[in-house]
Structure 1
Amino acid sequence: MENALKEIEIGKQEIQDFTDPEYGHLSIAFVQSDFVVGRIHSFQTEYPHIDYRLTQTGSNGIIRMLQSGDADIGFVSLIPIEDKLINVEPVYKEELFIVVSRNHPLAKHNQLDLKSLKDEQFVTYKAGYGLRTLMDTFCEQAGFSPRVIFEGEELSSILACVSTGFGITLTPDLHSLDKTTFKLIKVIQPYCMRSIGIAWKENSYLSPAAKKFISFIQS
């Protein structure tokens, strides 16, 4: 019954999209990234009549939203995805930095090797977030497991811990990072970088708005 009702809703949406191709609905889920937010804003400016629903969460949560149909499009960190029906295309790369409080002893450094941080306390995202997976991977490459003392779901709570000197974190350079409060330190070895991909579910209905958005990002 649930699947039948869902098919009916999809049918209604297809008819509405056909009659009003410049309008419609677009649900986008994304990892935190200035690049992603900027591209969504640019598309929204060009297509102001589309009804947008935006959700920011971790990569695994985004995949689940695509699988369930709760999101049309996703932006995820390029980590291994088991579901072969989720199509992911790389669209952007950004460097990751160690972020510390300006009062932290490490703030005197402009760059360092990740292995020198093996005894530091890390504050980061919970398992399932792309940045957490990447941090664990980079630390493993450097020869250690990070000593994680706080796991959160919001960047604001992670940065609150960093600002008090409670720990350090790994993140891209974001506009929300107050450079008077935080110091960004370049990681020399291993080079820490995140690739972001645009994702959607194969063999499922994509509205004209979703197709336009994918083409917009790919162009």
Structure 2
Amino acid sequence: MDTDALRWFQQVADGTTVTEVSELEGLTQPGVSRALARLERDVGAPLLQRTGRTLRMTRAGAIFKRYVDVVLHELDDGLSAVNDEMSPDSGTVVIAFQGSLGTWLIPNLLASFRAEHPDIRFELNQIRDEIAAPRLLAEGADILITTTSPRSDDVGWRPLMVEPLRLATHRDHPLAEQESIALRQASAESFVTLRAAYRLRRLTDALCQAAGFEPQVAFEGDDVPTLLGLVAAGLGVAIVPAHHTDVLERPSVRYLELTDSAAYRTVSIGWSTTRRLRPSAELFRTHVIATARQSS
């Protein structure tokens, strides 16, 4: 059904003449009349009848008009919402991010971005490491911020920063007297780690293997704050990202720099290469990359 004809019917039903409609729309009067006649055929009932020089609604027209008003109102709201979504200064950006980045990096990026673009909204989705990037983007994420960079032609990646890893120990632990440490010095310790599916756990295992030992895992958890709680209770040592040592203050925990050359993780941003980013999402992607460049 022609939405233009619905609008012209609405205008005529509200008292605008066919001549006035044609002048407003830049059309011929016969063209508007033919469109209204087609609309009546589509509906299957006469909607307008002439009374003297004026077109008035029939009973069927009055019934139909109530629904036309609702439909066109919803349509206009939908068009307005899409326009807002596609505007570079509004809309919603969907971000999927690794949980361990949610205490420092994501809040900092959002705060600096919203200072310049206060009307852009965000949908935040904390993800587990094992969920594949192409799947996340296919399910609606605009931007990924993670420490994994899988090879895929469907995903574009850009490194943002290198984050050192540190060894967390209880403050009364003998190792806590040192400012830095080689990981092999902790080979006899009990470790508290994330579960095997997490990227940080895989990094922990790889670092220990490179240092010549297999870690003795006493406890496994699902987030870094849990690991630090276990360390604070004296239940083991843990390899944690450096930024957590700044934002998660625990007086009973000491953080030692690791001198091992591979004791770091790379934080990256990802986006789909198979669909164009909405303007608001492209603005945020550009902001994240520029912020990382300024910080390096």
TM-score under structure 2 normalisation?
A: 0.63
* Greater RCO (CA < 8 Å, at least 6 residues apart): 1
**CA RMSD in angstroms, aligned pairs only:** 2.4
Identity among equivalent pairs (%): 28
1:192-218 CA distances to partner (integer Å, 9 max, x unpaired)? Answer: 111110011221242111101111112
Could you say which residue in structure 2 is the equivalent of 1:131? 200
Alignment match of 2:277 (pick from 206, 210, 215): 206
Structure with bigger helix share is 2
Alignment match of 1:17 (pick from 72, 81, 85): 85
Asked whether the 8 Å contact 2:170–2:254 carries over to 1, the reply is yes
**What pairs up with 1:130-209 in 2 under 5 angstroms?**
130-173=199-242, 174=244, 175-178=246-249, 180-209=251-280
1:44–1:65 Cα change, 3 Å: farther
Distance 1:120 1:75 in 2: 32
1:151–1:71 Cα change, 3 Å: farther
Structure with higher Rg: it is 2
Does residue 1:37 correspond to 2:107, yes or no? yes
Asked whether the 8 Å contact 1:122–1:148 carries over to 2, the reply is yes
- How many residue pairs align between the two structures? 207
Alignment match of 1:28 (pick from 89, 95, 99): 95
Which amino acid in the other structure matches residue 17 of structure 1?
A: E
For structure 1, the 5+ residue unaligned runs are 1-11
Could you say which residue in structure 1 is the equivalent of 2:65? none
CA shift for structure 1 position 24: 0.8
Distance 2:203 2:267 in 1: 12
Could you say which residue in structure 1 is the equivalent of 2:73? none
Asked whether the 8 Å contact 1:62–1:76 carries over to 2, the reply is no
1:77-129 CA distances to partner (integer Å, 9 max, x unpaired)? Answer: 145x2443222110111211001121223212221111122221111222332
1:152–1:76 Cα change, 3 Å: same
Could you say which residue in structure 2 is the equivalent of 1:46? 116
For structure 2, the 5+ residue unaligned runs are 1-78, 291-296
Asked whether the 8 Å contact 1:78–1:90 carries over to 2, the reply is no
1:132–1:139 Cα change, 3 Å: same
TM-score under structure 1 normalisation?
A: 0.83
Alignment match of 1:109 (pick from 178, 190, 200): 178
1:86–1:41 Cα change, 3 Å: same
Structure 1: 4+ residue segments shifted above 6 A: none
Distance 1:127 1:14 in 2: 42
Which amino acid in the other structure matches residue 131 of structure 2?
A: G
